[in-house]
Amino acid sequence: MSDNEIKISEGAVLGLLSGEITHEELTKALGGNPFEYMNRRKLRLRKIRIEETAYDDSDLIFRFEGRDPALSVFTNPKKEV
């Protein structure tokens, strides 16, 4: 994981989506929940790509950029302060 990317094996993602592994098992294997980290920072998911590896499993790379206005605190620009 970098400051704006999360890399997870496609097998782990498929295992989670199929119910073969639990959310708790995945976050334990990853050493935490990287998606929660990106969400706390209010970043937008901008791109998902597949990276082939030398192994049987490929990696999914989730790229986050910029703040997500939908996750930002709502303010009324017309309200007087």
Residues 28-53 have pLDDT tens digits of: 999 999 999 998 888 999 999 999 98
Residue 72 forms part of a structural domain: no
**pLDDT at residue 72 in the model:** 60
Contact call for residues 20 and 13 (beta carbons, < 8 A): no
Residue 80 forms part of a structural domain: no
Residue 47 forms part of a structural domain: yes
Checking if the pLDDT of 2 tops 80, the result is no
- Of the listed ranges 25-29, 35-39, 70-74, the least confidently predicted one is 70-74
pTM for the model stands at: 0.74
| % of the chain beyond a pLDDT of 90 | 60
CA separation for the pair 26, 8 (Å, rounded): 10
Domain that holds residue 49: 5-66
Nearest Cα to Cα of residue 58 among 16, 17, 9, 14:
9
Contact call for residues 5 and 65 (beta carbons, < 8 A): no
Contact call for residues 50 and 10 (beta carbons, < 8 A): yes
Residue 81 forms part of a structural domain: no
Q: What average pLDDT does the chain have?
A: 87
Q: Give the count of domains, the chain.
A: 1
